[in-house]
Chain A
Amino acid sequence: MEVSQRRVLIIDDDPRVTAYLATLLEDKGYVPCVSNDAEEGLQKVRQFNPDVIVLDILMPKKSGVQLFNKIKGDEGLAKIPVIILTAIKDYMIEDFRQFFASLRVKRPFAYLEKPVDPEELIAAVERSFGAAN
């Protein structure tokens, strides 16, 4: 699969974050799509059919965890790798890792702490393609 064809869906309630990551991914040759709302995010997952999803964990209304569970609970979407994005403190990421490990659904592909290091994000996105293939 060509890099140019790879599609990345970014779901975060903060429009500044989605604008930033979309520009970054576009610059690197990916096709980004953004959503600033968890509910709309689920529709976008179905419409846009991304190769990887970058998902914020703390969002108002529906939380990122709920959306993650929906994606992983849907047979058609479960195989899409999800990179979890969060501004919570690094030591709490371990708690999240354990929480997801305790769930029966599939686990997130990676966890990245905000503010995200652009190189780390690109590396994680790249790795996710390898994992999906």
Chain B
Amino acid sequence: MALVGILGKRDQGKGEFGDISQVPNEPSLKRTDLLELLDALPTYISIISPQMTVLWANSALKRALEGGVGRPCYEAYEGESGPCKGCLLERALATGRTETWIQTLRSPGIGNVQTLVQAVPLKAMGFDIPGALKVSTDITPLTSRLRQLEISQREYRALFEGIPCYISVQDRDFRIIKTNGLFRRDFGRATGRRCYEVYKGRDIKCEPCPVEKTFTDGRIHFSEETVRKRTGEPMEVVVYTAPVKDQVGQTFAVMEMSTEITQVKTLQRELASLGQAVAITAHSIKNLLMGLEGGAYVVKSALKRQDPELAQKGWEMIREGVDLASNLVRDILLISRHREPEFSEVDPSDLARQVVKVFMKKAEDLGIGLDLETPGKRTTLWCNPKAIHTALANLVANALDACASGSTFKMPRVILRVWEVEQERAICFQVQDNGPGIPKDLQEKLFKEMVTTKGASGTGLGLLVTHKIVKEHGGRILFRASSGGGAVFEVILPQRP
């Protein structure tokens, strides 16, 4: 129905809408003014009859619906052929109360428009007219923003949860208030607990604490830490702490982001140790070369001087140099080769006896007692005899060298003992000497790095080789200082792997 039509009826003071000449509390506002005002508003406004017919529509709605007046409300607004299920406008008319809902207005020209609808019974507005005023506000921009916000939140959550770093957010009391997926996997549910307790199993805050630093200066801090997973496994991490600020720029929480670098650190240590090994090997080779060059020079000089004694000395130097070179090469090959050892069953006492036999002359020459103690009964060991021989020979040679370098006792002595560790079904080889012992700083490096107490004549490879052989046999090697000075090495091998 045209505005003019409604105005006409209104002017008569009666008709379908009855008398709306008196707008309550607004006596100065004329009906024409009211309808013109509604017509001019940018929202979609209509008057719907109790039979759900659109009696009047403002310009904005008529433009959107390309007409619509005289058609059923459900058809004009939504293109439906029948009344909407649970029609709220109907309810508003029945109850006399305003109803609000969200409706998609299907406009042939603009497309779908999300609207917030308010249906107000005209009677509730003080008009004695059946029907309702339906005001629909376009909320499409708002709903699209809400949808975008929802998507962003979902993306943020997925990112936070899925990021391959450990993230925790702590408050000023170092209490964890938020964690991500990886964190929960490796540290468990920690919300409410203190970070130092969860990451490090400590009772008090760490010193220095990167989280505290960020709280103090509001900046990003970086540190390397060793933390413990909930399984107890240690893990080296690089930690970044960043402030979480409120609208006024105050830091109210700190985000701690940790990345595991255990493998990097292990590699770093291995490279450092490799570098050191290369340096020590180069040092050994230089000493070797000097010995060989020296031997050659001494032989040459002896021939010139016709001094057989000196020639013999020079020759010994060369021979010793060649021996050292071949040992060095053998050790380097043993260390670097990965091969399956050839196993056979042997009597460990026989093995030990052979090793002692090899060193007996050297021990006598050096004035060192070399003894063997074996169990009375025959036992067996499943091993690579050549490799175990090398390992024991390294230990005995070291013990003899240690005694030769100055024993603290009157009678320097090396003992190789063999016994069966029955409860472990293992064999223990023990090499004990009463030499000067191994300095404390070197003890920690034993079996890990090339360690020597022999200066130019030692390469430090021997113990590494021994360690490798023992590990290949599934055994272990132990070191302890002997009670009366000197060193004790024990190689414990399972009788059968």
Contacts and interface: CB of A to CB of B under 8 A. Distances in A.
B287 A87 contact: yes
A12 interface: yes
A119 to B, nearest CB: 12
B293 interface: yes
Contacts of B314: 19, 23
Chain A interface size band reads 20 to 34
B294 A114 contact: no
Give 7 nearest A-B pairs by CB, closest first. A20-B294, A14-B456, A16-B291, A115-B290, A60-B455, A87-B286, A13-B455
Contact of B295 (A12, A20, A26, A61): A20
Contacts of B287: 14, 17, 87, 114
A87 B302 CA distance: 26
A24 interface: yes
A76 to B, nearest CB: 28
A63 to B, nearest CB: 10
Contacts of A20: 290-291, 293-295, 297-298, 317
A115 B301 contact: no
Interface string A91-111: 000000000000000000000
Nearest to B299: A23
A16 B291 CA distance: 5
A12 B456 contact: yes
Contacts of A74: none
A59 B321 CA distance: 18
Contacts of A19: 294, 298, 313-314, 317
Nearest to B324: A16
A27 interface: yes
A29 interface: no
A53 B291 CA distance: 20
B405 interface: yes
B161 interface: no
20 contacts: A13-B455, A14-B456, A16-B294, A17-B287, A19-B294, A20-B291, A23-B294, A23-B297, A23-B298, A58-B456, A59-B455, A59-B456, A60-B405, A87-B283, A87-B286, A88-B279, A88-B283, A89-B282, A114-B287, A116-B290
A14 B455 contact: yes
A73 interface: no
B405 A16 contact: no
Contact of A17 (B279, B283, B294, B310): B294
Contact of A21 (B282, B289, B294, B405): B294
Interface in B264-293: 279, 282-283, 286-287, 289-291, 293
B107 interface: no
Given A17-B290, A19-B314, A23-B297, 19 more contacts: A13-B457, A14-B287, A14-B455, A16-B294, A16-B317, A20-B317, A21-B294, A23-B298, A23-B301, A24-B297, A26-B301, A58-B455, A60-B453, A61-B405, A87-B286, A87-B287, A87-B290, A87-B456, A114-B290
Interface residues of B, number: 28
Nearest to B317: A16
A1 to B, nearest CB: 24
A118 B298 CA distance: 12
A16 B294 CA distance: 7
Interface of B: 279, 282-283, 286-287, 289-291, 293-295, 297-298, 301-302, 304, 310, 313-314, 317, 320-321, 405, 453-457
A115 B289 contact: yes
A88 B287 CA distance: 10
A17 B292 CA distance: 9
B456 A115 contact: no
Interface in A7-66: 12-14, 16-17, 19-21, 23-24, 26-27, 56, 58-61
Nearest to B436: A61
Contacts of B283: 58, 87-89
Given A87-B286, A114-B290, A17 B456 contact: yes
Nearest to A14: B456
Contacts of B456: 12-14, 17, 56, 58-59, 87
A82 B381 CA distance: 56
Nearest to B307: A23
Contact of B286 (A26, A59, A61, A115): A115
A41 B204 CA distance: 55
Contacts of A27: 301, 304
Nearest to B294: A20
Interface in A70-92: 87-89
Contacts of B294: 16-17, 19-21, 23
A105 B277 CA distance: 33
Contacts of A89: 279, 282-283
Contacts of A116: 290
Contacts of A26: 301
Nearest to A20: B294
A20 B297 CA distance: 7
A94 to B, nearest CB: 15
B437 to A, nearest CB: 12
A89 B284 CA distance: 11
Contacts of A24: 297, 301
B457 A14 contact: yes
Contacts of B286: 87, 113-115
A87 B280 CA distance: 10
Contacts of B320: 16
A115 B456 CA distance: 12
Nearest to A17: B290
Nearest to A26: B301
